[in-house]
């Protein structure tokens, strides 16, 4: 079969965000829209001919259609081998693990992560490099530049591949292999965690509930939790991946994972609850009537890492995104290791992990991971917690409260204002920036402004610079307010407001976070005029 050269015209809106290109499905369905972006990925790469490409996604609507297009284009562009998850499925952390295990040149992830799916939902595509992690900015910048100048793309005329059958097919000089999406990932988890101890935990009568939210993690959780570790059948709920995620919003937080929350805050709840998102890279952890913030989760995992076989030799360092609470910093100080503060976006952790400067990484947006892959990893975090629970034989709440007693509590919350008019959101940030010139040293009630800035980052490995990563206001007592526009939505803008205070007094550790942060919440609105610019009386989501 011959390679086809198809003439095309550039689209102006194909600039990747923090996690690739995300748009409505209907936008991706435009003639040549997907093809243009895929060709722009290939055009930005060097020396990939004959190399291996990994392809898979979270199973959302348009996933299988896009994979057929990508396979044909990858063949035409000269890849030697393409590894595709059965039925087009691969969780984002599993895809990263497969890139690393098989030394692939890179991979294409088809997902809009925690965004809704279905015909009227969202779709996304991003490129991961040979270390298994998201492409750094120099690569995404090159992809965008090519997308703005593209005039043609390459493909081949061939029948669609049967994605449902594991096996190999030759197309021209390219070997296309459909692989088990779970096996390699499950094998890696067995290497990292004490499966024997976790089995004993379940055999003792310990119960948990894992909500896969009708997303990608269902098959992984069923295989690992129910089959390999012996959790009772039914431990995994909403475990079948659906193209529209069952009509739900596959974001594992207190608002969208309401079924799990109702179970864990109800009568006779299991001892442990967890959920993961659309593509399997996020996690939420709950005890009985007790929510563990992602920031606290990272800190607890770091403090207990040596209890887990894969981390028994200790941590090289910890990394957290700038809006994530400083709870991990206190652990790093106690362990006498570095804690790196990076911009939001998992790609910023890659260099630190590759250089062995950090072992554990985390973001407040329900993402935690480690050097085992180059993505955040939802099910990995759940297994880490199970391993800690198996060793301590205490409740989730007791483990967290003992952690607070030792390190102090970073009282923390995030307020999201979703679907805000983009112009209004940008005007808010612009106005906030201009107020910074006279904020330092100003007193608001008991809060004295110690610093305010627009966060910038110099990568300690390659010295690359990332500017305008979020507006920070720090107070003399250690409290913080951070304002940031999210890069993961597809409609309007999402304003995220992060609020944090440090509480060393153990007699106050039981208090509700929203009540404890009430003064900061009011102050955030006062300083940024949130109600004025967003026309909202309250956030869309509070976590």
Q: How confident is the model over 483-498, as a mean pLDDT? A: 81
- For residue range 28-41, what is the model confidence (pLDDT) as tens digits? 999 999 999 999 99
- Strands 465-466 and 493-503 turn out to be unpaired
Residue 530: per-residue pLDDT: 94
State the pLDDT confidence band at 490, using cuts at 50, 70 and 90: low
CATH number of the domain located at residue range(s) 185-407 in this protein:
3.40.120.10
Lowest mean per-residue pLDDT among 15-29, 290-304, 483-497, 502-516: 483-497
- For residue range 316-339, what is the model confidence (pLDDT) as tens digits? 999 999 999 999 999 999 999 999
Residue 437: per-residue pLDDT: 83
Per the annotation, the verdict on 113 as an active-site residue is yes
107/17: higher pLDDT: 107
- Fold for 3-181, please state it: Alpha-D-Glucose-1,6-Bisphosphate; Chain A, domain 3 (3.40.120)
CATH number of the domain located at residue range(s) 409-542 in this protein:
3.30.310.50
Whether the CB-CB separation of 81 and 53 falls below 8 Å is answered with yes
Residue 476, pLDDT above cutoff 90: yes
Lowest mean per-residue pLDDT among 13-22, 58-67, 270-279, 448-457: 13-22
Q: How far apart are CA 208 and CA 484, in angstroms?
A: 35
- For the record, the structure tokens of 213 come out as 């939210």
Strand partners, 3: 156
For the chain, percent helix, then strand, then coil, each to nearest 5?
35, 25, 40
Residue 486, pLDDT above cutoff 90: no
Q: How far apart are CA 370 and CA 353, in angstroms?
A: 8
Residue 440: per-residue pLDDT: 92
Residue 358, pLDDT above cutoff 80: yes
- For residue range 248-260, what is the model confidence (pLDDT) as tens digits? 999 999 989 999 9
Residue 18, pLDDT above cutoff 80: no
Full-model pTM: 0.94
Measuring CA to CA, which residue among 23, 215, 36 is closest to residue 123? Answer: 23
Q: Residue-wise over 269-284: b if at least 16 C-beta within 10 A, else e?
A: bbbbbbbbbbbbbbbb
Q: In what order do the strands lie in the sheet with 174-179?
A: 21-24, 122-128, 106-110, 52-57, 81-89, 174-179, 167-171
Residue 489: per-residue pLDDT: 52
Q: How far apart are CA 464 and CA 161, in angstroms?
A: 41
Residue 136: per-residue pLDDT: 87
State the pLDDT confidence band at 19, using cuts at 50, 70 and 90: confident
Whether the CB-CB separation of 339 and 309 falls below 8 Å is answered with no
Average pLDDT, the chain: 95
* Ranges for all domains in the chain classified under CATH 3.30.310.50: 409-542
Residue 491: per-residue pLDDT: 66
Q: Exactly one of 19, 40, 111, 113 is catalytic; name it.
A: 113
Whether the CB-CB separation of 10 and 4 falls below 8 Å is answered with no
* Ranges for all domains in the chain classified under CATH 3.40.120.10: 3-181, 185-407
Q: How confident is the model over 169-195, as a mean pLDDT? A: 98
- For residue range 374-403, what is the model confidence (pLDDT) as tens digits? 999 999 999 999 999 999 999 999 999 999
Residue 291, classed as helix, strand or coil, is strand
Q: Hey, how many other C-beta atoms are within 10 angstroms of the C-beta on 444?
A: 16
Lowest mean per-residue pLDDT among 53-62, 66-75, 305-314, 410-419: 410-419
Residue 492: per-residue pLDDT: 79
């Amino acid at each position: 079969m011959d390679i086809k050269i198809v003439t095309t015209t550039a689209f102006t809106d194909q600039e990747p965000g923090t996690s690739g290109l995300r748009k409505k499905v209907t936008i991706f369905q435009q003639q040549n829209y997907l093809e243009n972006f895929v060709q722009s990925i290939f055009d930005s790469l060097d020396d990939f001919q004959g190399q291996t490409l990994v392809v898979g996604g979270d199973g959302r609507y348009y996933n299988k259609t896009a994979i057929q297009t990508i396979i044909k284009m990858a063949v035409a562009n000269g890849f030697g081998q393409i590894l595709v998850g059965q039925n087009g499925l691969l969780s984002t952390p599993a895809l990263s693990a497969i890139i690393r295990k098989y030394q692939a040149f890179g991979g294409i992830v088809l997902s809009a992560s925690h965004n809704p799916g279905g015909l009227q939902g969202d779709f996304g595509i991003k490129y991961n490099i040979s270390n298994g992690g998201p492409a750094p900015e120099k690569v995404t910048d090159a992809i965008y530049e090519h997308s703005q100048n593209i005039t043609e793309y390459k493909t081949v005329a061939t029948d669609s591949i049967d994605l449902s059958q594991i096996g190999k097919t030759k197309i021209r000089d390219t070997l296309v292999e459909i692989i088990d999406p779970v096996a390699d990932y499950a094998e890696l988890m067995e290497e990292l965690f004490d499966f024997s101890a976790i089995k004993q935990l379940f055999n003792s009568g310990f119960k948990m509930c894992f909500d896969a939210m009708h997303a990608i993690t269902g098959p992984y959780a069923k295989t690992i939790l129910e089959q390999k570790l012996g959790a009772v059948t039914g431990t995994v709920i909403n475990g079948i991946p659906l193209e529209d995620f069952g009509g739900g919003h596959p974001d594992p937080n207190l608002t969208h994972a309401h079924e799990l929350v109702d179970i864990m805050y109800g009568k006779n709840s299991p001892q442990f609850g967890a959920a993961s998102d659309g593509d399997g890279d996020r996690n939420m952890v709950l005890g009985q009537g007790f929510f563990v913030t992602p920031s606290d989760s990272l800190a607890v995992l770091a403090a207990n890492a040596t209890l887990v076989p894969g981390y028994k030799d200790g941590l090289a360092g910890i990394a957290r995104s700038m809006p994530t609470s400083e709870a991990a910093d206190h652990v790093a100080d106690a362990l006498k290791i570095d804690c790196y503060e990076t911009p939001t976006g998992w790609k910023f952790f890659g260099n630190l992990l590759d250089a062995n400067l950090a072992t554990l990484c985390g973001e407040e947006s329900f993402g935690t991971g480690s050097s085992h892959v180059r993505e955040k990893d939802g099910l990995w975090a759940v297994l880490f917690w199970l391993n800690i629970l198996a060793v301590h034989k205490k409740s989730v709440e007791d483990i967290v409260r003992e952690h607070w007693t030792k390190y102090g509590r970073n009282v923390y919350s995030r307020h999201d204002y979703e679907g805000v008019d983009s112009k209004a959101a940008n005007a808010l940030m612009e106005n906030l920036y201009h107020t910074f010139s006279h904020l330092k040293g100003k007193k608001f009630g008991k809060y004295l402004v110690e610093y305010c800035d627009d966060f910038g980052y110099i990568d300690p490995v390659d010295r690359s610079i990332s500017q305008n990563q979020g507006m920070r206001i720090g107070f003399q007592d250690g409290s913080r307010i951070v304002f940031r526009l999210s890069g993961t939505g597809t409609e309007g803008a999402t304003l995220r407001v992060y609020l944090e205070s440090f509480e060393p007094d153990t007699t106050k550790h039981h208090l509700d976070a929203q009540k404890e942060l009430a003064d900061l919440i009011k102050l955030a609105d006062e300083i940024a005029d949130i109600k004025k610019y967003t026309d909202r009386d309250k956030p869309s989501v509070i976590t």
